[in-house]
Amino acid sequence: MQRPRQMQRLLFLLLGQLLTFASCYTTPGPKHEQRPGGPSQEHWGYSDQDWREDYQKCDGKSQSPINVEISKTIVNKNLPKITLEGYSLPETTLLNLTNNGHTVQLSLPESMSISNTFPQKYLASQLHFHWGTESSPGAEHTVDGIRYVAEMHIVHYAAKYGSLRGAAQKADGLAVLAVLFQIGPNDNENYNHIFDKLEAISQEGDEVYIPGFDVNALLPHQLSRFFRYNGSLTTPPCFQTVTWTVFNDTVQLSKEQLHKLETSLKTGHHTLDSNFRFVQPLNGRNVLASFSSTLPSGRMVVKESAESGGDDKPGLELDEPNAFSNSSDGNQIALGDTLAIIFGILFGCTALIFVVYVLRQRKHQRLNTESGKKVIYKPTNTMEA
Ligand SMILES: [Zn+2]
């Protein structure tokens, strides 16, 4: 009866290890899909991102998002700095905030613009977000392979084309500013104008109006460090008409704020999450950097002081693993890793001791044989049934 019991214990140990590893390395993928018959007219989703059949442009050679490899960027310190006009909106301007089934989108007035940055003026149209789940990050652009927790896009169109629709298919039609988010210790109050209203637009198609506020406050402190490249809309119809500006410095949100973004909205009957497109091949495109990094192997990110809530001057630090984790899930992973290592070491030690024991026994037997003694093999009790 002893032998099966031991085998059982061994099996439990192995099973435990397997489960620990599984819990560590199984990351949930995007789980929702556009269901037919929903309010949205566009039947595309993020769980199947093969959009080429319905939207040919999505198969183009200059698609977005991309992974920015800092060491391969072309430094150009003469890139004009980003000049934003009219970003501080009066409260009397009411802004439409809607859940369109793909994201939360805030309409912006044409009085907001990017000026003296590109050869022409670009007027604001809307801003929206991309995010992951509570256990996996969901920014679209990655930097040196790091995916940040979420990303915001502020979409502008060339003034000369008169409208977003008119500009969307023109080569120089669109300019999008991209902001990457990290987890910080405090609520970023500047985002509560939007996040406080998410529950009010939980259903696809819902909308509310919010008073104008200072949209500048949603941006990183330092706008002079950015990456620039030519790409596309990251959603169908994937027009390749976007001049991208991805800010190097990140903006911090609290864990609670991110949680709200990840869980408040629905698309059909599902939670609206993981609404990010996978990175696309660069296909020889140049990515410019407006700055040269003093830390060639690391990414410079803004570190806000815990007390300031994000108002102090930013300092620099190497990128941290928290870019990947957003919460207790990060702790769970760390705990899982630790357990896996402990079980691994225990298992390894047991195996090593067993091997040493067997070798010593054999040596002992050989010595006994050589010295002419009669060798009696007597199994121990534990090996008996
Ligand atoms: Zn976007």
Is residue 176 one of the residues assigned to a domain? yes
Residues 278, 138: Cα–Cα separation, whole Å: 10
CA of 287 to the centre of ligand 1 (A): 19
- Which tens digit of pLDDT belongs to each residue from 248-288? 999 999 999 999 999 999 999 999 999 999 999 999 999 99
Neighbours of 42 (CB within 10 A): 15
Ligand 1 center from residue 35 Cα (angstroms): 21
Q: Are residues 263 and 373 in the same domain?
A: no
26 assigned to some structural domain:
no
**Whether 288 and 354 share a structural domain:** no
Give catalytic residue positions: 102
What pLDDT is recorded for position 324?
Answer: 30
Domain match, 281 and 302 both:
yes
Please indicate, yes or no, whether residues 215 and 354 belong to a single structural domain of this protein: no
Specify whether 278 is located in the same domain as 252: yes
Residue 65 preceded by cis peptide, ω within 30: yes
The answer to the question of residue 50 being in a domain is yes
Residue 139 CA to ligand 1 center (angstroms) comes to 10
Same domain, 277 and 351: no
Task: Indicate if 252 and 317 belong to the same structural domain.
Answer: yes
pLDDT at 382: 40
The CATH number that applies at residue 227 is 3.10.200.10
Q: Which domain holds residue 176?
A: 44-326
Per the structure, the count of domains in the chain is 2
Residue 31 lies in a domain: no
Within-domain flag for 37: no
Q: Decide if 322 is inside a domain.
A: yes
Whether 226 and 160 map to the same domain: the answer is yes
Q: Is residue 34 part of a domain?
A: no
Let me know if residue 30 belongs to a domain: no
Domain boundary among 326, 344, 372: 326
Residue type, 167: A
Task: Convert the pLDDT of each residue in 123-163 to its tens digit.
Answer: 999 999 999 999 999 999 999 999 999 999 999 999 999 99
In the listed set 294, 326, 358, which residue is the last one of a domain according to the structure? 326
What residues of the chain score a pLDDT lower than 50? 1-2, 10-11, 13-40, 295-336, 366-385
Enter the tokens of residue 311: 């108002």
Of 326, 348, 374, which residue sits at a domain end? 326
Q: Residue 158 C-alpha to ligand 1 middle, in angstroms?
A: 17
In the block, residue with structure tokens 């800010």:
247
Same domain, 302 and 372: no
Q: 3-state SS of the chain?
A: CHHHHHHHHHHHHHHHHHHHHHHHHCCCCCCCCCCCCCCCCCCCCCCCCCCCCCCHHHHCCCCCCCEECHHHCEECCCCCCCEEECCECCCCCEEEEEECCCCEEEECCCCCEEECCCCCCEEEEEEEEEECCCCCCCCCCEECCEECCEEEEEEEEEHHHCCHHHHCCCCCCEEEEEEEEEEECCCCHHHHHHHCCHHHHCCCCCEEEEECCEHHHHCCCCCCCEEEEEECCCCCCCCCCEEEEEECCCEEEEHHHHHHHHHCCEECCEECCCCCCCCCCCCCCCCEECCCCCCCCCCCEEECCCCCCCCCCCEEECCCHHHCCCCHHHHHHHHHHHHHHHHHHHHHHHHHHHHHHHHHHHHHHHHHHHCCCCCCCCCCHHHCC
Residue 201: predicted pLDDT = 98
Task: Give yes or no: residues 354 and 321 share one domain.
Answer: no
**240 lies in the same domain as 350:** no
- Residue 64 CA, ligand 1 centroid: distance in Å: 10
Same domain for 322 and 341, yes or no, is no
